[in-house]
Amino acid sequence: MDGVHLLGEWYGCPAHTPEFNRAEALREVCLNAVEASGLTTVGERFYQFEPHGVTGAVVLAESHLAIHTWPESGFVTVDVYVCNYTADNTAKAQKLYDMIEAVFKPARAHSQKILRGGKDG
Amino acid sequence: MDGVHLLGEWYGCPAHTPEFNRAEALREVCLNAVEASGLTTVGERFYQFEPHGVTGAVVLAESHLAIHTWPESGFVTVDVYVCNYTADNTAKAQKLYDMIEAVFKPARAHSQKILRGGKDG
């Protein structure tokens, strides 16, 4: 099963971004972005750290989205992994990634795209 | 925030493995392996596909575990991502990865280790 995995590290995100430190706000952004990208949520879980930080995962029919925030450092990591089971979901994955990046507005981003699986998977 | 991300694609896994196609069985293996590795679960979500396949994510205090199975192809993908916030969790991540791999017994595995984040994160 071939697929594409986008990994991001976002630095210098503005600390006042509400999604940085409120699990419910980040959850809403993620679920809306999944839907807007044409991907399908089948489950999700977000967790609020004290005193700060949010971590969460959205289980997709196509694989997963995971996100972790460190507001005290202006830092976010994100993973968008989609498998191309019935269609090529690469463009949808990129759209999802870009929509969340637009919320956090990093001053500097390190992104990787990894191809996973293959014909014999 | 530096961390390590282990990505695996496992091929040729025996089709009769119960965790391949039962969300509850896979959930139990994952949660037990997290605990045995010394990592901390803060949330989880597993989903059963019809007619086959399971997908799930465990949200960790240290970041996340995600796993997707295709029993019809004997194929599994797994992600273990841990951040080294208060300690170096690399050995725990590898232990978690190895414990789940031992359940699926792939004939062939493709594994990658990616270092994420850095000093300025």
Question: Which residues 6+ apart lie within 8 Å of B67 measured at CB?
Answer: B26, B30, B54, B55, B56, B57, B76, B77, B78, B79, B100
B22-42 pLDDT, tens digit each: 999 999 999 999 999 999 999
Share of chain A above pLDDT 90, in %: 91
User: How many whole angstroms separate alpha carbon A114 and alpha carbon B16?
Assistant: 30
Contact B75 A121 (CB under 8 A): yes
Q: What pLDDT is stored for residue A121 in this prediction? A: 44
Partners of residue A77 in chain B, C-beta under 8 Å: 1, 3, 63, 81, 83, 116-117
Query: Chain B closest CA to A16's CA: distance in Å?
Result: 17
At residue A63, the pLDDT reads 97
Does B121 lie at the interface with A, CB-CB under 8 angstroms?
yes
Cα–Cα distance for residue pair B67/B80, rounded to 1 Å: 9
State the pLDDT at residue A1. 80
For A12, which residue in chain B has the nearest alpha carbon?
B121
Residue A86 has what pLDDT?
82
Chain A closest CA to B90's CA: distance in Å? Answer: 17
Is residue B64 a contact partner of residue A55, using CB atoms and an 8 Å limit?
A: yes
Are A2 and A121 a contacting pair, CB within 8 Å? yes
Q: pLDDT, tens digit, for every residue of A29-55?
A: 999 999 999 999 999 999 999 999 999
Q: Which listed residue (A5, A63, A110, A111) is catalytic? A: A63
User: What whole-number distance in Å separates Cα of residue B21 and Cα of residue B39?
Assistant: 25
Evaluated on CA atoms A89, A9, B67, A25, the torsion sign reads negative
Q: Kindly state the DSSP code that residue A17 receives in the 8-state scheme.
A: -
Are B105 and A63 a contacting pair, CB within 8 Å?
Answer: no
d(CA B103, CA B32): 12
Cα–Cα distance for residue pair A5/A114, rounded to 1 Å: 5
**pLDDT at residue B96, rounded to an integer:** 98
Q: Is A68 a catalytic residue?
A: yes
Backbone phi, psi, residue B40, to 5°: -125, 120
Q: What is the mean pLDDT of chain A?
A: 95
| Diameter of chain B measured on Cα atoms | 46
The residue type of A37 is S
**A73 reaches B (C-beta below 8 A):** yes
Contact B57 A79 (CB under 8 A): no
pLDDT digit string (tens) for B2-27?
Answer: 999 999 999 999 989 999 999 999 99
For B66-83, the pLDDT digits (tens) are 999 999 999 999 999 999
Verify whether the Cβ–Cβ distance A66 to B57 is below 8 Å: yes
| Chain A contact for B99 (CB, 8 A cutoff) | no
Token pair, residue B87, equals 């300690």
Nearest-CA distance B59 → chain A (Å): 6
Nearest to B76 by CA among B68, B65, B84, B87: B68
Residues of A in contact with B120 (CB under 8 A): 11
B57 closest CB neighbour out of A59, A70, A120 = A59
- Total-model pTM: 0.95
Written as six digits, the tokens of A5 are: 């995995």
Q: Length of chain B in residues, anyone?
A: 121
Q: Å from A77 to nearest chain B CA?
A: 8
